[in-house]
């Protein structure tokens, strides 16, 4: 079945590339539904881990692909005149050569599918699939040729295939290839428009991700030299407390892919790039490789590594939330909150207790759904209302209640009971609190977690308040060209995936009910409370009540109130980046010594 998930998207990519518009849309939706169904089937039927080996013929093919990708990066470095990209590509080619020259004796299976992998399948295919549906209509509004538009959808399907493969593999060499392929995908998607900002951001994404590639290659070399294997399971089974270097290097690759501070720039670049679809894809699905990898590595970590990664992850959670408070670009805010939550997920994965891993998985799933939903709305705002900045979304509720509803649900699902992401955070605090008794250093993790979650709540509701605020411009009749003017019709291709994700959120509540993540009362009561809001709107028409103006000391002039921001001096940003880098260095040094 896993083969279907890996190979079918490749086939789909080819099909979409050559089919005409209408057929392409219908086919894509059918394909997405098919992939979702298969991934749900996988998740329900898998009880014991599946192991399989790939045919010997595949290995030369993978090596060929690897070489091609690395050469392509090198070529891009030369063409785009970026010495960093060139240098890192060369370094990787050399390291890859070394890896090829070594041989590992201990052999295992290339494919290993555990329950974590099936969870990732769900996430990749359903959330990623709904993004493809969104992209179908979105890409039509761009001024490109038919082939280039189809190619965009094809890249998305290709990306699904790569992601499905990466969570099924057990071989670090194949993992490296797929890691590079996701880098390639994100490079192509960010640079898709081909204009100045896009190219610049895509090159930054490229070289930062290549750092991750270098880390994986180094991990491979050390793993072969010391443990004589290229397989995750053997490496983790045979791990020695005193030689954790490969694990830490892989963890650093995870930090790069998860855009943790100090590697946060590339994800933010992908957000600011003018393609909403790539933003969605990156933050909702691709970066989830990071916590996945961390979950895989968790059993091999010793106290020191697990503690420092937990501290670093929670620190990232705290500081990304803090940095986001000073931003007013909607997608940038979402990007920072993604970075923050990824930090938390990695911290929980590294903690490694059963509750922490459960919390990490819960966060993983629900964060993807909520962020997918929110980024879809960001795309709608940009395409239908031409809104990018939070300050302009004043009084959106008068123009599009549906979008406001989705945004509200999206933010609420990240912070409030009874939604999944809340349960994840809740369990995170519980599991870290349980660790403090063992080592008081976890106190800092707890503080970061407590502060960070409050900052994030502050951030989300800061944005949310803008939606309900009164639209003074529209009322005065001098609406700026950037503010929404009238009720706008939103395409079905946009609302359908939103409804799908909403349905998933509701299903998530049902699942948390089934699995008893919280007391039944603790789920039902807030659900009732939140459900009461629209009900009150519907029933209380306030016909008898008199409408008056706001109290303004008796003045009659209307005022326009804007958003508040928190001033983040540049040095705070530098301090945060320095602290995070220092933490990574200490981690490396601690392991080497």
Partner 1 sequence: MFRKYRKKSPWILHYNAGSCNGCDIEILAALAPKYDLERFGVINTGNPKQSDIFLVTGPVTFRSRERLVELYTQMPEPKVVIALGSCTCTGGVFRDMYNVEDGIDRYIPVDVYVPGCAASPELLIDGVVKALEILEEKTKAIEKPFRLFKEASSENGIINRRHSALKVGEKDEED
Partner 2 sequence: MIEVMLILFAPLIGGLMYGFERVLRARMQNRKGPPLLQPFYDMYKLLDKQAFIINPYHTVLGIMHFLTLWTVVAFMIFGQNLLYIIFLHLLSVIFIILAGFSVNSVYSHVGANRELLSALAYEPILIIVAVGFFMMHGSFDISVIRQNSASIVPLFLLFLAFLLLIPLKLKKSPFDAAEAHQEIVGGVEIEFSGVYFEFIYIAKWLEYVFVYLLLVLFAGNNAVLGTVLFLGVFLLVNLVDNATARIKMKHVIQIVLGIALTLGLLNLAGLSYV
Which of residues 297 and 449 has its CB atom nearest to partner 2 in the complex? Answer: 449
Compute the distance between CA of residue 579 and CA of residue 569 in angstroms, rounded to an integer. Answer: 16
Determine which residue in the list 7, 37, 71, 447 makes contact with partner 2, applying CB under 8 A: 447
Determine which residue in the list 55, 544, 567, 571 makes contact with partner 2, applying CB under 8 A: 544
Q: Beta strands 50-52 and 111-113: pairing type?
A: antiparallel
Minimum Å gap between C-beta 208 and partner 1 is 54
User: From partner 1, partner 2, none, which one binds at residue 455 (CB under 5 to 8 Å depending on kind)?
Assistant: partner 2
User: From partner 1, partner 2, none, which one binds at residue 44 (CB under 5 to 8 Å depending on kind)?
Assistant: none
Tokens of 107: 């052999």
User: From partner 1, partner 2, none, which one binds at residue 451 (CB under 5 to 8 Å depending on kind)?
Assistant: partner 2
User: From partner 2, partner 1, none, which one binds at residue 470 (CB under 5 to 8 Å depending on kind)?
Assistant: partner 2
- Single out the segment in contact with partner 2 by CB under 8 A; choices: 36-44, 284-292, 345-353, 410-418: 410-418
446 lines the binding site for partner 2 (CB under 8 A): yes
524 lines the binding site for partner 2 (CB under 8 A): no
Q: At what angle do helices 492-514 and 420-436 cross, to 10 degrees?
A: 40
561 lines the binding site for partner 2 (CB under 8 A): yes
Residue located via tokens 């030689």: 243
> What is the footprint of partner 1 within residues 547-566 (CB under 8 A)?
548-549, 551, 553-556
Which of residues 551 and 556 has its CB atom nearest to partner 2 in the complex? Answer: 551
**Residue 449 · residue 314 · CB < 8 Å:** yes
- Single out the segment in contact with partner 1 by CB under 8 A; choices: 131-139, 165-173, 457-465, 541-549: 541-549
84 lines the binding site for partner 2 (CB under 8 A): no
476 lines the binding site for partner 2 (CB under 8 A): no
Determine which residue in the list 465, 485, 520, 574 makes contact with partner 2, applying CB under 8 A: 465
- Name which of 380, 132, 172, 80 is nearest 89 in CA terms: 80
438 lines the binding site for partner 2 (CB under 8 A): yes
Determine which residue in the list 27, 87, 429, 568 makes contact with partner 2, applying CB under 8 A: 429
521 lines the binding site for partner 1 (CB under 8 A): no
What sign does the CA torsion over 493, 498, 501, 506 have?
negative
User: From partner 2, partner 1, none, which one binds at residue 433 (CB under 5 to 8 Å depending on kind)?
Assistant: partner 2
For partner 2 (CB under 8 A), the number of binding residues is: 61
Compute the distance between CA of residue 560 and CA of residue 562 in angstroms, rounded to an integer. Answer: 7
The DSSP result for 418-480, as a single string, is: TSHHHHHHHHHHHHHHHHHTT-TTHHHHHHHHHHHHHHHHHHHHHHHHHHHS--HHHHHT---
The Cα-based distances of 99 to 59, 89, 218, 330 in angstroms read 14, 15, 9, 43
State which H helix or E strand residue 333 sits in: helix 330-351
Tokens of 315: 């620190």
Compute the distance between CA of residue 583 and CA of residue 570 in angstroms, rounded to an integer. Answer: 20
Minimum Å gap between C-beta 557 and partner 2 is 11
543 lines the binding site for partner 1 (CB under 8 A): no
Tell me the β-bridge partners of 329: 389
User: From partner 1, partner 2, none, which one binds at residue 538 (CB under 5 to 8 Å depending on kind)?
Assistant: none
416 lines the binding site for partner 2 (CB under 8 A): yes
How many CA atoms are closer than 13 Å to the CA of 14, on its beta-carbon side? 4
Compute the distance between CA of residue 351 and CA of residue 301 in angstroms, rounded to an integer. Answer: 9
**Residue 400 · residue 155 · CB < 8 Å:** no
Which of residues 468 and 503 has its CB atom nearest to partner 2 in the complex? Answer: 468
**Residue 261 · residue 338 · CB < 8 Å:** no
Which of residues 551 and 564 has its CB atom nearest to partner 1 in the complex? Answer: 551
For partner 1 (CB under 8 A), the number of binding residues is: 8
Minimum Å gap between C-beta 542 and partner 1 is 14
Which of residues 147 and 468 has its CB atom nearest to partner 2 in the complex? Answer: 468
Minimum Å gap between C-beta 175 and partner 2 is 37
Determine which residue in the list 44, 437, 589, 593 makes contact with partner 2, applying CB under 8 A: 437
Which three-class secondary structure string do you get for 480-528?
CCCCCCCCCCCCHHHHHHHHHHHHHHHHHHHHHHHCCCCCHHHHHHHHH
Minimum Å gap between C-beta 378 and partner 2 is 20
**Residue 281 · residue 270 · CB < 8 Å:** no
- Single out the segment in contact with partner 2 by CB under 8 A; choices: 47-55, 306-314, 503-511, 518-526: 518-526
**Residue 31 · residue 79 · CB < 8 Å:** no
Minimum Å gap between C-beta 561 and partner 2 is 5
Residues 6 or more apart whose CB falls under 8 angstroms from that of 19 comprise: 27, 150
User: From partner 1, partner 2, none, which one binds at residue 556 (CB under 5 to 8 Å depending on kind)?
Assistant: partner 1
The Cα-based distances of 178 to 100, 116, 216, 345, 351 in angstroms read 17, 18, 11, 22, 26
397 lines the binding site for partner 2 (CB under 8 A): yes
User: From partner 1, partner 2, none, which one binds at residue 225 (CB under 5 to 8 Å depending on kind)?
Assistant: none
Minimum Å gap between C-beta 559 and partner 1 is 14
User: Chain centroid to CA 302: how far?
Assistant: 27
User: From partner 1, partner 2, none, which one binds at residue 30 (CB under 5 to 8 Å depending on kind)?
Assistant: none
Angle CA 279–43–340, to nearest 5: 35
Which residues of this protein are in contact with partner 1, per CB under 8 A? 546, 548-549, 551, 553-556
Which residues of this protein are in contact with partner 2, per CB under 8 A? 397, 415-417, 422, 426, 429-430, 433-434, 436-440, 443, 446-447, 450-451, 454-455, 457-458, 461-462, 464-466, 468-470, 472, 518-519, 521-522, 525-526, 529, 532-533, 536-537, 540-542, 544-552, 558-561, 564
């Amino acid at each position: 079945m896993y083969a279907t998930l890996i190979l079918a998207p490749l086939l789909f990519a080819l099909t979409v590339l050559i089919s005409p518009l209408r057929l392409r849309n219908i086919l894509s939706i059918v394909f997405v539904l098919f992939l979702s169904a298969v991934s749900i089937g996988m998740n329900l039927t898998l009880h014991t881990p599946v192991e399989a080996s790939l045919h010997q013929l595949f290995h030369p093919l993978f090596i060929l692909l690897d070489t091609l990708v690395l050469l392509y990066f090198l070529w891009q470095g030369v063409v785009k005149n970026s010495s960093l990209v060139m240098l890192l590509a060369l370094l990787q080619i050399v390291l890859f050569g070394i890896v090829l020259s070594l041989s590992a004796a201990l052999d295992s299976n290339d494919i290993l599918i555990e329950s974590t992998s099936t969870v990732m399948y769900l996430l990749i295919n359903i959330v990623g699939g709904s993004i493809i549906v969104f992209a179908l209509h979105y890409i039509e509004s761009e001024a490109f040729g038919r082939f280039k538009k189809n190619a965009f959808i094809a890249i998305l399907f290709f990306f699904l295939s790569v992601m499905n493969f990466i969570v099924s593999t057990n071989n670090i060499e194949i993992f490296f290839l797929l890691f590079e392929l996701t880098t390639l995908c994100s490079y192509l998607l960010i640079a898709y428009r081909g204009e100045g900002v896009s190219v610049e951001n895509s090159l930054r994404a490229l070289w930062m991700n290549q750092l991750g590639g270098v880390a994986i290659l180094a991990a491979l070399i050390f793993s072969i030299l010391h443990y004589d294997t290229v397989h995750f399971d053997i490496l983790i089974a045979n791990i020695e407390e005193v030689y954790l270097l490969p694990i830490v290097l892989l963890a650093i690759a995870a930090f790069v892919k998860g855009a943790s501070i100090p590697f946060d720039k590339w994800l933010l670049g992908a957000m600011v790039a003018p393609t909403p679809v790539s933003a969605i894809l990156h933050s909702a699905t691709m970066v989830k490789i990071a916590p996945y990898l961390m979950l895989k590595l968790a059993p091999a970590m010793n106290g020191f590594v697990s503690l420092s990664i937990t501290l670093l992850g929670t620190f990232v959670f705290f500081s990304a939330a803090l940095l986001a408070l000073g931003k007013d670009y909607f997608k940038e805010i979402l990007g920072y909150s993604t970075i923050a939550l990824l930090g938390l997920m990695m911290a929980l994965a590294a903690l490694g207790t059963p509750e922490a891993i459960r919390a990490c998985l819960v966060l993983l799933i629900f964060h993807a759904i909520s962020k997918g939903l929110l980024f879809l709305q960001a795309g709608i705002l940009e395409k239908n209302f031409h809104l990018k900045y939070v300050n302009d979304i004043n009084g959106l509720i008068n123009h599009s209640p549906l979008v406001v509803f989705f945004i509200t649900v999206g933010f609420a699902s990240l912070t409030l009971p009874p939604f999944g992401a809340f349960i994840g955070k809740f369990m995170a605090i519980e599991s870290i609190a349980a660790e403090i008794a063992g080592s008081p250093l976890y106190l800092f993790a707890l503080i970061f977690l407590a502060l960070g979650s409050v900052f994030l709540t502050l951030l989300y509701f800061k944005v949310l308040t803008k939606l309900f605020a009164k639209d003074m411009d529209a009322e005065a009749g001098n609406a700026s060209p950037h503010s929404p003017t009238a009720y706008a019709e939103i395409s079905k291709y946009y609302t359908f995936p939103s409804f799908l994700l909403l349905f998933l959120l509701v299903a998530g509540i049902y699942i948390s009910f089934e699995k008893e993540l919280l007391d039944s009362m603790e789920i039902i009561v807030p659900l009732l409370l939140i459900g009461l809001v629209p009900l009150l709107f519907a029933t209380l028409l306030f016909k008898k009540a008199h409408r008056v103006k706001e109290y303004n000391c008796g003045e009659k002039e209307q005022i326009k109130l804007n958003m508040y921001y928190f001033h983040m001096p540049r040095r705070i940003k530098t301090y945060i980046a320095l602290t995070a880098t220092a933490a990574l260095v200490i981690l490396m040094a601690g392991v080497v010594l």
